[in-house]
C-alpha cells in the first residue's frame, strides 16, 4: 500500500488500534477534526480516484458494521452479509464500481474494533447460519501489512459454529493466515479472471498464478476455498481463455476444498462509463453489446450472458460435478437456461449457500 499521506480522525486518535497501525506503517500523519478536509483535498485532484488510493484516512464507522448485500428485487441475491471494515481499494481495476460509488473515493479504515466485535457477537447469538464477508466495499486482504483485524476475526469466528467468514481478495497476501487456528470457519476466497483481463484491466493486483498459489497454500492449511468469476468480460476468444483459467484452478486446487464458485457478467452503472473512458483509455470493456437492466445497470444482452455461463458451467461440471456453482444477480430465466434449474426449486439461493457452508465449514446443521 504505497501511501503518500495518512490522516487521523481526532475522535480515534487515542485508540490503541490507531497507535498499532501507525507503528506498523512508520509514516508521518496528520490529525484532523473534520473529514471534509480529506475529501476536499482529494476532490481537487485531476484524478481523484488515483489520488484516493494513496491517502489513508483512519476513522470510525458510525453506522452498522454488518449490512445486507445491496442486491435488488429484480435479480436473485445470495443474502450475504457485509462486514464493513473500510472503504475503497489500493488496487486499480478498470471495471471497479467503487470508483463511482464513493464521492470522493479515499482509503478509509475503521478502527473502532470494539463496536465491530459487539455486532459480530450479537450475530453469533442469533444461532442461525450466517455468511459474512469483508470484501464488498474493499478488498479483504489489502490491509494486512498494517492491521491485525483479520487475525482477530479468524480467531473469533473459529470458536463458534453458526457463521462463516469469507475473505475475498485479488492479492496473495496470506502470510497472516498461516499460523492461525481457523477451525474451518473462514473461507479464503479469490476473484479470478482470464490472464488477458488481469493484464489489461486489473492494475496492481496479484497475477492469476500468484492468486492460485496462495489458494493452494490456504488449502494445505485446511481453509475452505471459494472462487468468484466476476466480472466475466466478453471479448474475442474469452471462452477459451476462461476454460484455461478453470483448468489452471483445478490444477492447483482439489474440488473437495471449494465451498462455492460464483459467475457474474460485467455490469456497470452509467456513471462509471466516463470514469473508465478517462482513466483507462485503452480499455474496450465498455464498448460491448449492452442493454439497460431492470436495476438500471448496463448488462450484456441476455443471450450473450447465457451462452458464456453455459460453456463455463459445462466445463466446471466435467471436472467437478458436485461443486456448487451459482450466478450473481441474474433472473430465473438465465438460471434455468444456464444451470438447468431455478434457485426456488432448491429452497432458494441463500439456502443452497448455507447448506454448502454447513458441509464444508463445520457449522451446526441445526441452525439451518
> What cell does 354 get?
448455507
How many domains does one find in the chain? 1
178 within some domain: yes
Predicted pLDDT of residue 72: 66
Annotate 145-198 with DSSP letters as a single string: TT--HHHHHHHHHHT-SSEEEEEEESS---GGGTT---TT-EEEEEE---HHHH
36 within some domain: no
Residue 143: burial class (beta carbons within 10 Å; 0-12, 13-18, 19+): buried
Please answer whether residues 269 and 97 qualify as being in contact, where contact means their C-beta atoms are separated by less than 8 angstroms: yes
Please answer whether residues 37 and 44 qualify as being in contact, where contact means their C-beta atoms are separated by less than 8 angstroms: no
314 within some domain: yes
CB atoms within 10 A of CB 266: 21
103 within some domain: no
133 within some domain: yes
Predicted pLDDT of residue 73: 64
Predicted pLDDT of residue 44: 92
Residue found under cell 506503517: 25
Looking at residue 292, the DSSP 8-state letter turns out to be E
For residue 93, the cross-strand partners are 202
CATH number (domain holding residue 339): 3.80.30.30
Which regions of the chain are under pLDDT 70? 71-73
The structure's pTM equals 0.96
Domain that holds residue 79: 63-86+113-367
4 within some domain: no
Strand order in the sheet with 30-32: 30-32, 5-9, 55-59, 107-110, 86-87
201 within some domain: yes
Annotate 294-317 with DSSP letters as a single string: TTS-EEE-HHHHHHHHHHHHHHHH
Please answer whether residues 190 and 227 qualify as being in contact, where contact means their C-beta atoms are separated by less than 8 angstroms: yes
Predicted pLDDT of residue 347: 96
CA quadruple 248, 304, 286, 133: dihedral sign:
negative
pLDDT by residue (tens digit) across 308-328? 999 999 999 999 999 999 999
44 within some domain: no
Amino acid at each position: 500500500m504505497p501511501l503518500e499521506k495518512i490522516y487521523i480522525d481526532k475522535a480515534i486518535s487515542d485508540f490503541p488500534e490507531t497507535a498499532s497501525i501507525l507503528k506498523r506503517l512508520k509514516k508521518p500523519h496528520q490529525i484532523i477534526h473534520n473529514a471534509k478536509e480529506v475529501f476536499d483535498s482529494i476532490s481537487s485532484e485531476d484524478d481523484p480516484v488515483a489520488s484516493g488510493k494513496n491517502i489513508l484516512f483512519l476513522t470510525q464507522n458510525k453506522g452498522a458494521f454488518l449490512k445486507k448485500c445491496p442486491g435488488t428485487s429484480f435479480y436473485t441475491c445470495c443474502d450475504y452479509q457485509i462486514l464493513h471494515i473500510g472503504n475503497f481499494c489500493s488496487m486499480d481495476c478498470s471495471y471497479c464500481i467503487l470508483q463511482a460509488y464513493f464521492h470522493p473515493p479515499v482509503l478509509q479504515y475503521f478502527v473502532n474494533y470494539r463496536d465491530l466485535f459487539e455486532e459480530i457477537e450479537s450475530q453469533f447469538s442469533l444461532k442461525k447460519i450466517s455468511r459474512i464477508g469483508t470484501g464488498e466495499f474493499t478488498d479483504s486482504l489489502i490491509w494486512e501489512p498494517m492491521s491485525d483485524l483479520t487475525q482477530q476475526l479468524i480467531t473469533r469466528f473459529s470458536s463458534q459454529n453458526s457463521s462463516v467468514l469469507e475473505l475475498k481478495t485479488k492479492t496473495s497476501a496470506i502470510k497472516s493466515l498461516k499460523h492461525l487456528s481457523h477451525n474451518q470457519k473462514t473461507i479464503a476466497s479469490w476473484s479470478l479472471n482470464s490472464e488477458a483481463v488481469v493484464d489489461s484491466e486489473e492494475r496492481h493486483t496479484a497475477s492469476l498464478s500468484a492468486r492460485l498459489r496462495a489458494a493452494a497454500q490456504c488449502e494445505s492449511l485446511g481453509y475452505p476455498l471459494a472462487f468468484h468469476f466476476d466480472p466475466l468480460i466478453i471479448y474475442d476468444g474469452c471462452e477459451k481463455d476462461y476454460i484455461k483459467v478453470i483448468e489452471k484452478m483445478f490444477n492447483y486446487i482439489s474440488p473437495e476444498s471449494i465451498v462455492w464458485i460464483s459467475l457474474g457478467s460485467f455490469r456497470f452503472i452509467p456513471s462509471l462509463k466516463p470514469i473508465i473512458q478517462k482513466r483507462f483509455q485503452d480499455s474496450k470493456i465498455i464498448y460491448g453489446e449492452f442493454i439497460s437492466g431492470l436495476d438500471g445497470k448496463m448488462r450484456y444482452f441476455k443471450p450473450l450472458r447465457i451462452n458464456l455461463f453455459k460453456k463455463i458451467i459445462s466445463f466446471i461440471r466435467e471436472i467437478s460435478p458436485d461443486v456448487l456453482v451459482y450466478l450473481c444477480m441474474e433472473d430465473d430465466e438465465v438460471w434455468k437456461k444456464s444451470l438447468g434449474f431455478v434457485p426456488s426449486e432448491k429452497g432458494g439461493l441463500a439456502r443452497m449457500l448455507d447448506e454448502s457452508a454447513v458441509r464444508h465449514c463445520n457449522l451446526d446443521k441445526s441452525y439451518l
